[in-house]
Structure 1
C-alpha cells in the first residue's frame, strides 16, 4: 500500500538511471529509425522500431517459448502453454481475414505458408533439442542476448553458423517428400479456418489444465508484481497475457507494413553467408543463395533486409528494457559445460530452423497465424525435440530450479 501512495516525484525517483547500455540502446532506436527511414524508406524505419517494441515486450513479459515448454514437460505446469494458445487464437482472428482476402489496408499481404514434409519434421525436432540446450528459441536468444545474457551471445553466434550450414543442404532437404503448402483458411474460408484453429487451441489448453490439475491439484497463478501501473509497464515484469497481446499486435503491424508476418532466422542465414564471404567462402555456389530473393538479399546491405532490421531492433529494445528494469549486468563467468551446451544448442537451432522453413516465430507463431499446416507439424516435432532436450539438460549442469525468466 505504501508503494501505491508514493508521490509522483517519488515514483520518478524510483526509476533507475539508464546507464550507458540504456542510453546506447535508446540512441540506437531513435537514430536507427530515422536513418533507416531516410536511407531505405519509411517502412524500413518503422519495422526497426517495431522490432524494438518486440524486444521490449519479449524482455519485460519474459515471453518464453522454451521455458514454457520445459516447465510443462518437467513439472506439468501449463500456464505458459495456455498463454501461447491465447497468443495463437488472437493471431488467427486478426490474420485470417486479411490473408484470405490478400490485402490489408490496401496493400498486398501473404502468409508464412510452406510445404509440410520430412524436412520440417527433422528440422523442428533438431530445433526443439536446441531450444533446451541453447537456453532459448530464436526470439529468446535475441532478447536475452540483448538483455545482457553473455551465454546467449555464444548461442547466437552458433545459431548463425548452424543457419549457414542449413543453407548448404537446404535443397536436399527440400527435395524430400512433402505436402504442398496449404492454409486452413483455404479449404474452410476465413471464418471456418478460425473456428477449426480455435478448437485446436482450446483442446491443447484443456489438456494442459487436465495434466496440471492431475499432478498438482490446482492451476498455477501468476505471481503478483512488486510494481503497478506505469511503473510496471516501464520497468517490468509484465503479465504474460499483456506480452501475448503486444506480440500479436506488433506481428499484425509487421504484416501490414512488410506484407508478410514476423520472422527471425532467415536473417541469421544471411549474416552467416556474409560472414563466409568475408573469410573467402563463396555461398553463391549453393542452391539456396541462387533463388531470386536470397540472391538479392545477399548482394544488398543487411540494412535493406526486413528480417535483419527487425532483429537488430529486438536486440536494442531488449537492451533498453533490461536497463529500465535495472537488470543489465552481463557476466562472462560461464561454466564450460554450459558453453558446450550453448554451442551444440546454437548449431541445432540454426540448422533446424533453416531446413524446417522457420523457427518458433516464423514457423510456429507466424506459420500457425497464417493457418499453415507446416506450422502445426513444426509444433509437434519441436515439442518432441524439447522432450529430449529437457532430458539432456542435467548433463550440462543446469540447475533443476532454473528461474523461469532466465531464458526464452
Structure 2
C-alpha cells in the first residue's frame, strides 16, 4: 500500500510508528493492572484479583466490539437495523445456557433476582428514556468513559450520585407495591428455565425480524456483534462462577457515592433501610476493593482504556444546553437504575440469563422509554 503513496518512505514510517505509539500508551495501563492484580492477590484475595481480570475482559469486549446496548436499540428503531438487538439475543442465549446449569449445580451461586414492583416499572421506563439521551447505559457509560468520550466521563460521577440517592429512597418506592422475586431456575429447574428462556428469546427474534424486515441470520450479522456476544457471555459466566453472583454495574456506582457521602458526614447509613442492611452496611465499612461489583467496574474502565489508543474518539462538540440535558439524563439514569434493580446489564443481561422474571418485565418497559428518549435526543440534536 505504501508504494502507491508518493512519499513512500514517510508513509511507511507513519504506519510503523502508529502501532508502537499505541503500545507505548498501553504500557502504563498494563503495568497498573498488573500491579493492582498482584496487590489484590497478595493483600486481599485471589477472588478479587481474578475478578479484576474478568472486568478488564468485559471492558475490552465492550469497547473493542462497540457492543452498545443503547445503540443497538436505537438503530433498530431509527434504521430498522436489528443487528445490535440480535447480538444481544445471542449474548442472552449463550449466557443463559452457561449460567442456569451453574446455578442448579453450585448452590453458592445466586441469580440476579429483583422484585416485581412499581419501582421496577417506573425505573425501567425512565432508565430506557434517559439512556438514549445520555448515549449509554451503565456499562456504556463505563466503557465510553474509558475511551475518553467527554460526556460519558462527566456523567459517571452523576450516575453514581443518582444511584446512591435511588438506594436511599428505594424502600419508599417498594412501599408503593411489590411482589416477591420469581426465579425460573428455582421454579422449573435448570432445564425448564433454559428451555423457556430460549423459546422466549426465539420469539423476540422472530418479532424483531418481522418488524425490521431482516430475519435473524448468523451470516448477515456484523462480526463484531457475534464475537462481542461470545466474549461477553464467557466473561460474564466467569464472573458468576468466581464471585457467586451475576455481573452487575449499578451497585458499585451507588456504593462509591455512599462511601463518599458517609466520609463527608452527609449521610448516616444507620437511619436508612437500604444501607443499614447488614450486607450493605458491611460493604460501607470495608475497602471498595472487597466489593465484587466495584472491582469489575474498575476492570471495565481499564479494559476500555486498553482499547482507547486504537479506537478513534467519535464524540462531537456539544452546546451548553446539550451538556445540561445529557448530564441531567445521566443523573436520572443512575437514580432510575437503582429503582429498576439494575440496568441493561444487571436487570436485562444478568436477570434474564439467570432466570429472574423481573428481567423480562424490565425489557419492554425500558424499550417504551427508549422510544420517547430517541425523540428527545433528536429534538435536542444529541
Q: CA deviation at 1:174?
A: 2.1
Alignment check: 8 A CA contact 1:96 1:369 kept: yes
**Residue from 383, 386, 397 that aligns with 2:381:** 397
Cα 1:385–1:283 shift into 2, 3 Å: farther
| Distance of aligned partners of 1:281 and 1:386 in 2 relative to their CA distance in 1, 3 Å threshold | same
Q: Give the Cα separation in 2 of the matches to 1:366 and 1:75.
A: 27
Q: Distance in 1 between matches of 2:288 and 2:273?
A: 20
The answer (yes or no) to whether the contact 1:167–1:286 under 8 Å persists in 2 is no
**Displacement, 1:13?**
6.6
Q: Is the 8 A contact 2:168 2:275 kept in 1?
A: no
Give the distance between the partners of 1:363 and 1:240, measured in 2 at CA: 20
* Cα displacement string for residues 55-97 of structure 1 (whole angstroms, at most 9, x for unaligned residues): 1000011001000111112222211111111111111111111
Which residue is 1:228 aligned to? Answer: none
Shift in alpha-carbon separation, 1:321–1:196, aligned structure 2, 3 A:
same
Distance 1:212 1:342 in 2: 29
Q: Structure 1, unaligned stretches of length 5 or more?
A: 3-8, 224-237, 399-408
1:212 & 1:177 partners in 2: Cα distance? Answer: 36
Equivalent position to 2:264, from 279, 285, 300:
279
Q: Hey, what's the Cα distance between the residues in 1 that align with 2:219 and 2:203?
A: 19
Look up the match of 2:5: none
C-alpha separation in 2, matches of 1:78 and 1:264 = 25
1:160-309 pair list within 5 angstroms: 160-213=160-213, 221-222=220-221, 239-284=224-269, 285-309=271-295
TM-score by length of 1: 0.85
SS in structure 1 of the partner of residue 289 of structure 2: helix
**Cα distance change of structure 1 residues 376 and 282 upon mapping to structure 2, 3 Å threshold:** same
What runs of 5+ residues in structure 2 fail to find an aligned partner?
Answer: 3-11
SS of the equivalent of 2:51 reads helix
Deviations 1:74-124, CA, capped at 9 Å, x for gaps: 222211111111111111111111212344xxxx21111121121111111
Q: Which residue of 2 aligns with 1:229?
A: none
Aligned to 1:35: 39
How many residues align? The count is 371
Distance 2:377 2:338 in 1: 24
Does the Cα contact within 8 Å between 1:77 and 1:220 map onto a contact in 2? no
Q: Distance in 2 between matches of 1:109 and 1:170?
A: 25
Q: Per-residue deviation at 1:26?
A: 1.4
- Please say if residues 79 and 220 of structure 1, whose CA atoms lie closer than 8 Å, have aligned partners that are also in contact: no
Evaluate the alpha carbon distance shift between residue 294 and residue 212 of structure 1 in structure 2; reply closer, same or farther with a 3 A threshold: same
Question: RMSD between aligned alpha carbons?
Answer: 2.6
Q: Is 1:98 aligned with 2:102?
A: yes
Residue aligning to 1:347: 331
**What secondary structure is seen at the aligned counterpart in 2 of 1:18?**
helix
Q: Distance in 1 between matches of 2:25 and 2:380?
A: 31
SS across alignment from 1:288: coil
Deviates more, 1:56-65 or 1:179-188: 179-188
Quote the Cα distance in structure 1 between the aligned partners of 2:316 and 2:153: 10
- Partners of 2:176 and 2:36 in 1: how far apart? 42
The alpha-carbon distance between structure 1 residues 394 and 366, as it changes in their structure 2 partners (threshold 3 A), is same
Question: Where do residues 298-337 of structure 1 align in structure 2 (5 Å cutoff)?
Answer: 298-323=284-309, 325-327=310-312, 333-337=317-321
Structure with a larger share of its residues in helix: 2
Structure 1 position 23, deviation (Å):
2.6
> Partners of 2:33 and 2:179 in 1: how far apart?
41
Deviations 1:153-210 (A, max 9, x none): 1221211111121022111112232221112223322111111111111111111111
Using structure 2 for the length normalisation, give the TM-score: 0.91
Contact kept in structure 1, 2:127 and 2:366, CA below 8 Å: yes
